[in-house]
Amino acid sequence: MTASKVTLGDGRILESHTVVSTVGTAPHPLIVDLCKTNNIPTAKARIITDSTLRVEGFDHLWAAGDCAAVPMAVSKEAAKQAKANAAMPGSPFAPHKYCPPTAQFAYRQGVCLGKNLANILKGASVPPRPFTFKGLGELASIGHQSAVADIMGVRFSGLLAWFMWRTIYLMKLPGLDRKLRVMIDWTLDLFFPRDITLLRARTTEVLQEVHLEKGDTVFHAGEPAMSFYVVKTGRVTLNDENGPVMSIGPGEHFGERALLHDRKWRFTAVAAEPSTLVSLEAKVFQAISSASASIHEFFEHSSQQYLSRQQIESIKKTVPEALLNLKVSEVMTRTPIFFRTSGTVAKALSTMIEHPFNSFPLLDDKDTLLGIITQSQVYDALKDGAITRDSPMSILTPCPIPSVHCDILINDALETLMRSGRNKLLITDASGKLTGVLTPIDLLGHEAQPNL
């Protein structure tokens, strides 16, 4: 199931925004793990026991209730019939059946097991008694003063079954006061119409997870913006009328521009692969961003990357065409200042003093680009005691930053730079090694040259 459809086992798709699911019961995962760890025999994750509720293969291990697969006590005639049915091709019957996980069986299994354990602990010579309860039947109310029943092999339905269901239910309630309250309430229901008032008291879910399959649409361009999204797993692509505009991966977010401005989506968001998103309601996002100037400034800055095709083309028109047709390698800074994972924090601090940039590329010993390290990241790690001046830079986790190949044109690199929401691009060669850095200052500097 996803947020908008259900995919069946044969590949068919049912589009739906509301899914009502009915599933069976299963033992708790703790029981499943214990059985796997200790090689306890199971049947559909339920612990297999003998008729005395002792776990098969163990002398001092017992089980009862919904987690136990207790053999169903049947008469000799019923056992013969079940065995004969099981021998027939395609028969759904099996020669051995287990007690169903219902209250009438679980309650009596507990009583039986309690007596057996009491005799064993007392050292009594009485052998454990087998569980012989065969079930009294089943009752189910289906509404409108009607029910279905199977009592001691006799099946019937209607008003009589409904009356029996309510009578047995009332008898099982603990306490005379509770019995009287329920009986009076049920009696009044016979003379007055149904009360359709529904009061559902539950906590507000500020955050919600949304699962998407490949090709599922999160929202369409032009629709009202209702949520802020963070990609937990997978990848989401933002598309305009001309195709993909941005690709947003794990840990990245989107939606702030629409929520901070016109409250309308300007792109169509589609899952590029199976993905899980964490959504935050628009009113909660706006309350947080308006309460903190620094948070608002952060989202205002990151929202600048969501530029439409028309906006990008309008910006490109302000740049000389000769510059747009140059390769990145002709404009970039060829001697970038960087850190190595084998270098120390002390050496990195010296580099920061000598070159007061906000961020620096991080390379491994093979000159492969790993990301960037910011000044604030180093400062915070030193302040928290996570690193010392003698620690290697490999301890720090580099932040991702967009990179482009050195042979692409400034025209394409400029678009990547604008959509990244950052003020620099890292330039790599075909092997992924860092060859330079491109910043808006590099573009402005070349733009001022007379020959351009």
Is residue 303 within 8 A of residue 245, CB to CB? The reply is no
Average pLDDT over residues 404-412: 86
Q: How far apart are CA 8 and CA 10, in angstroms?
A: 5
- pLDDT band for 15, please (50, 70, 90 cuts): confident
Q: Is 305 left (phi over 0), alpha (psi -120 to 50) or beta?
A: alpha
Average pLDDT over residues 358-385: 87
- pLDDT band for 80, please (50, 70, 90 cuts): low
- Say what the pTM is: 0.54
In this predicted model, which residue has the larger pLDDT, 283 or 309? 283
Taking the domains of the chain in order of start, what are their residue ranges? 27-122, 137-189, 207-306, 319-447
Arch. (CATH architecture) of 319-447: Roll (3.10)
Which H, E and C letters describe 135-156, residue by residue? Answer: CCEEEEECCCCCEEEEECCEEE
The CATH code of domain 207-306 reads 2.60.120.10
Kindly tell me if the per-residue pLDDT of 189 is higher than 50. Answer: yes
Question: What tens digit of pLDDT does each residue of 239-256 get?
Answer: 888 788 888 889 889 999
Kindly tell me if the per-residue pLDDT of 2 is higher than 70. Answer: yes
Cβ-based neighbours of 391, under 8 Å, separated by 6 or more:
344, 345
Question: What tens digit of pLDDT does each residue of 195-241 get?
Answer: 766 666 666 666 788 899 898 999 999 999 999 999 999 999 998 88
* Alpha-carbon dihedral 270, 273, 278, 279, rounded to 10 degrees: 10
> If 0-12 CB within 10 Å is exposed, 13-18 middle and 19+ buried, where does residue 26 land?
middle
- pLDDT band for 408, please (50, 70, 90 cuts): confident
Average pLDDT over residues 149-158: 86
- pLDDT band for 277, please (50, 70, 90 cuts): very high
Provide the percentage of residues in the chain whose pLDDT is more than 90: 30
Name the 3-class secondary structure at 233: strand
Alpha helices in 192-316 (DSSP H): 256-260, 282-291, 293-302, 309-316
Is residue 195 within 8 A of residue 239, CB to CB? The reply is no
Kindly tell me if the per-residue pLDDT of 268 is higher than 70. Answer: yes
Kindly tell me if the per-residue pLDDT of 447 is higher than 70. Answer: no
Q: How far apart are CA 68 and CA 108, in angstroms?
A: 13
